[in-house]
């Protein structure tokens, strides 16, 4: 009795039949289909629909934020015309004439409608004090805010990931305790408090770094560090929890059992999977850093969008105070 040419398994039947499974001699189907492991059909359309839906949801939110900011600026006690005048005497007739020229004597809903109509067309108006276009004022100081935010984000990413990885690998040791203590203090300490402590220590006491101004790496160290401490603490706790969860997975245990170097196991197998939630958190932290730049730029006297918004609010410059607030929320929401 001759030995059978196949063992009867699925692989042998597939080879003898010329296809995957099926009867011997059956022809392989040439009908095109979705590749194995590829995205499902209609995936691109669903993603486009989701993006459009999110953008449409952003429109009423921006309208509400702009309206709320507009009303808050107008409800603050004080007359902007008298604030502009300062100590100079001004008659009531002259003040009324200036209010009429600036359109401040119109009803609030008329002022907001005019502001919104011009904003849709790209005309952000002019500052009440400087009489410069608002867009030009923002673009002039935007590079300083961008530089500060990116430096703080880079510092937070490097410091947070390093502390999180070390704390996970040395779980239960003094290194883990020190890293988590730093994380708790970083989350609990406000930006203005850490900024004042750094100025007091590194500028006034030790004299290592300049306290205010812009230009050069030395003037960027303290503002970026003070702004990025909270984000670094958040990322450190997130990376630690992610690494601890990944290090218990079977594929990591298998990689260690195969004799791979600890550096290869951590960097190639564990860290890649632990960084998935961290990357998502980085986008959220970028919006938080833009909001924190308002305080940091004001304390360190750095030209930027945040300081410009604070000065506009204090001087009651309505067009200049409303635009940065709406822009900041749009970036944070995305």
> Crossing angle of helices 191-198/218-247, nearest 10°?
130
pLDDT category of residue 26 using cuts at 50, 70 and 90? very low
Listing DSSP states for 90-148 in one string gives --HHHHHHHHHHHTTTS-HHHHHHHHHHHHHTT---B-TTT--BHHHHHHHHHHHHHHH
Residue 3 reports pLDDT greater than 50? no
User: Does 94 reside within a domain?
Assistant: no
Q: 139-148, 255-264, 320-329 — which is least confidently predicted?
A: 320-329
**pLDDT of 154:** 92
Total structural domains in the chain?
A: 1
Residue 239 · residue 164 · CB < 8 Å:
yes
**pLDDT of 326:** 43
User: Does 315 reside within a domain?
Assistant: yes
pLDDT category of residue 84 using cuts at 50, 70 and 90? low
**pLDDT of 17:** 47
User: Does 214 reside within a domain?
Assistant: yes
Find the CATH number of the domain harbouring 176.
1.10.3720.10
Of 94-108, 116-130, 164-178, which has the strongest mean pLDDT? 164-178
d(CA 308, CA 145): 10
pLDDT digits (tens, 9 = 90+) for 259-318: 888 788 887 778 888 888 888 888 888 888 888 888 898 888 888 888 888 877 776 665
pLDDT category of residue 334 using cuts at 50, 70 and 90? very low
Q: Which domain holds residue 148?
A: 138-333
User: Does 52 reside within a domain?
Assistant: no
Element at 87 (helix H, strand E): none
Please give the backbone phi and psi of residue 126, each rounded to the nearest 5 degrees, phi first: -125, 150
Residue 306 · residue 145 · CB < 8 Å:
yes
């Amino acid at each position: 009795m001759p030995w059978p040419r196949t063992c009867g398994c699925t692989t042998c039947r597939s080879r003898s039949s010329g296809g995957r499974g099926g009867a011997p001699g059956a022809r392989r189907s040439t009908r095109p289909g979705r590749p194995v492991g590829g995205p499902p059909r209609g995936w691109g359309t669903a993603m486009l629909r989701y993006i459009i839906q999110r953008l449409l949801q952003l429109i009423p939110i921006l309208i509400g934020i702009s309206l709320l900011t507009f009303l808050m600026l107008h409800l603050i006690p004080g007359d902007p015309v008298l604030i502009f005048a300062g100590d100079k005497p001004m008659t009531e007739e002259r003040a009324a004439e200036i209010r009429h020229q600036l359109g401040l004597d119109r009803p609030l809903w008329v002022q907001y409608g005019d502001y919104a109509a011009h904003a849709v067309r790209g005309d952000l108006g002019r500052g009440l004090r400087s009489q410069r276009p608002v867009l030009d004022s923002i673009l002039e100081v935007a590079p300083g805010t961008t530089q500060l935010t990116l430096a703080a984000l880079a510092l937070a990413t490097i410091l947070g990931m390093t502390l999180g990885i070390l704390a996970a690998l040395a779980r239960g040791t003094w290194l883990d305790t020190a890293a988590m203590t730093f994380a708790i203090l970083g989350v609990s300490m406000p930006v203005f408090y850490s900024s004042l402590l750094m100025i007091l220590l590194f500028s006034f006491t030790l004299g290592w770094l300049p306290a205010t101004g812009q230009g050069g790496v030395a003037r960027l160290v303290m503002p970026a560090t003070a702004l990025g401490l909270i984000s670094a603490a958040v990322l450190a706790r997130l990376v630690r929890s992610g690494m601890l969860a990944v290090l218990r997975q079977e594929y990591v245990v298998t990689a260690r059992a195969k004799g791979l170097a600890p550096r290869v196991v951590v960097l190639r197998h564990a860290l890649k999977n632990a960084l998935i939630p961290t990357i998502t958190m980085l986008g959220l932290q970028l919006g938080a850093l833009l909001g924190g730049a308002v305080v940091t730029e004001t304390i360190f006297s750095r030209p930027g969008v945040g300081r410009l918004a604070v000065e506009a609010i204090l001087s009651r410059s309505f067009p200049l105070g409303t635009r940065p607030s709406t822009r900041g929320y749009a970036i944070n929401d995305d």
